Structure 1
Amino acid sequence: MRVALLLAAGRGILRRVGGVSLLERGVRELRKAGIERVVVVADDVIAVTEDLPVEVVVDPDWGSGTASSVLTGLSMIGDRRCLVVMGDVVFEADDVRRLIQTPTGNAQAVDRNVADHRATRIQLDGDGQVASLGPDLDEYDAVDAGLTVVEVQDVLMVTYRVRESWLELRQQLLTHGCRMQSTEMQGFWASADTPELEQLMWRRCGPKPTDGVVARVLNRRISGPITRLLLRTGVVPEVATVLAFVVTLVAAGLVATSNTWLMIAGGLGILLGSALGGVDGELARISGRTTRLGATLLGRYAELAVVLAFVLAAGSTRTAWIWGFAAAAGCLLISYIHAVGRDTDVRLLFRREFRLLIFAVAAVATFPLWGLVAVAVAANLDALRGVVLLLRE
């Protein structure tokens, strides 16, 4: 299957969810799933293109119901089968890919885990075929996920009976004996009207499976609310990267003064900067964007600035410089080993958020030299352990 109809009539498709419009998100996931042509059926060409790789078809009669938009789109594609996508749903490419791999006939994406009574209800038979669908079914097994594969000829066969909705068209398909296989959604999907949608998206995409204990217990609790707030503004991930860098630099400057109260404030700032360091990745994963700066560049500079600040706060003695050099070397070695072992199962324990937590605690306790010693010893031992694990791999 190579073509999809994205129903975008009405301006709701331009609503921003997770930092990007529903239209941009939908087109991106469809293309990622292998769809070659995305035909957007809209009420206005200029309003929906957004410089996206799509073909736009205007339906002048879109106000009469979604059936009109579907038929307008199908008349333009010239393909035997087509994926029809409602424009007000959030979905993932993996689910689209599984749906379009249905070899023949009609297929409906369903979700068995959603108890949203506003969604279209679907009753399935023992073979997983759609038996009936509608908003008022008393007994149902799943709900409509907003993605449907159709045989174009089947739809055209029943159009003379339908005047209003895409739901009506599908009901007529079932009435005329056209079989419709169900495919269960396994990834994240939701209606754009789902309460607290962006919070659900953050739970799905924000934390990473590789998060360490400090990230899970502390940093994500700080970064999560900040990310959800920034998503509503449409801020790109690079802005969050620069913000984390600036906050950490300011905190390092406060620590370098060696003033007790300023060091305490600097320690709290280091903790905040560490949490902000995860916001850019969360924004990128939720919005589907990429971040080019990230922790690989500015994060390393910020961490080295913290090490230098602790050396200065410890009196800039020879001992402080020696331990500072050892701490900086350990921090960089751990990052290097992670990069080298990216395709292996090697995962070191003393990650960046753990190191910055040690620095933050040492600053609040006003023991800068001991902070350098702790990071230097732990980081270098962990780096040596990583080398051994890589050699074994």
Structure 2
Amino acid sequence: MAVLAFGVVMTPNVVGGAASAAPAPTPAAESDPVTPAAERMRAALAGQAEKDRLAEARERWIRENGIIGMSADSAGHVTAAVSRTAPADKLAEVRTTANARRLSSDGAPVTVTRSTLTAADIEATADRIAAFHAEHPKYGISFRFDAARDATVVSGNLPAVLAEKLEATAGKVILEMSPETTIEANVGTSSLGALEGVGRVQDRGPWHFGGARISSHDGSVCSSGFSMDADPGHDATYSTTASHCGPINTNWLSGGYEYGTVVWRVDFPSTDVMKLDCCSENYGDRIWTSPTTTRKVSWAWDPGLGYNTPAGGSGICVSGGKSGNEECFARVTDTDATACLIGQNACTRHLMVYERDNGSQMTWDGDSGSPVYTLDNGNVDAHGTHVAIERRSYGGGAAKYLHYAMKYSTIRYTYGGVIRNW
């Protein structure tokens, strides 16, 4: 067993285990009658309540200890900052509780620092940066508070004159600008190529799965996320994808087969996830993890900073219709980041950032909306839906990729229900 962020305990996972072709339902033995839908839903809600309890404990620790910001590097080292106005004895107290909890995924101590800022300072800087992007939407930027550097780090491709203006007005910021840096959505086009005719790009139903490759009438290609159940006991299932994939009432197909229609699209672009409903068919408890195989979904929860599962585990994974196969071995480096995409007059906030230690790319055009997760004994624990990718350029061809996802808690809060795991 391994203790993860803020005391969450999970068993080790192994990439590649227990993937299987999408199965037909298995009849229950006479001695093990089928559980009624309402009972299954109650069991799912009870399991979700335990996951929620752990998340609430994490948030309570942050709140009660006056933490104004946290961050992690790609190696999983976590830093927590308390306000510059915190009492002198507060810093020592927070350090004691942080190290007792062993907040990082590998059990290493967490660094607790005193910031030169307050929570209000950080929020004001975020508001100024977002307003700046609204004035200059032709450039993409991202930003997040870095507790280790005690500043909001802004990345993007702003020209020098605009970068200087932002630096002079935003507050305490560190700018990392390059004309070759890109922050963009992963919407693709309708050419299927070598994947045409196989499972995930031709999800026929009647039980549709997450991670399917879906296309709209205008040729846009995205991926579906996870299946949710919104109405206890009545199989009122829905699926999700990224809101930037298309407007309300857009109809989505998978290989020419009906997949769903956008029936709810809330607060875009501040929130970048939308709800799909399908005809007389349902969304099932699996996600596509290769062109022809799936994994069952077990639970859903928001992972903490530095999380990438115990040694030998899968790390954070993503599985999109364009990528074809699941991409794993990333960790969470931020849970409150902001992405401001080119052409949008507002930013998407409260995003989870996941990246590999080596900075390699995990998603491609057509992967927007795809499921982000970890493996739990070969099954899937859902964490969110992919919405954007950032390529940070370092000159001479050197680059690293950061990936952004809407958190599972945001999906639940916005559209209700619970993860479909039965």
Shorter-chain TM-score bucket reads: under 0.3
Which structure shows the bigger proportion of residues in strand conformation? 2
Which structure shows the bigger proportion of residues in helix conformation? 1
Q: Structure 2 length normalisation: TM-score?
A: 0.19
Tell me which of the two structures has the higher relative contact order, counting C-alpha pairs closer than 8 angstroms and 6 or more residues apart.
Answer: 2
* Larger Rg belongs to: 1
Q: Structure 1 length normalisation: TM-score?
A: 0.20
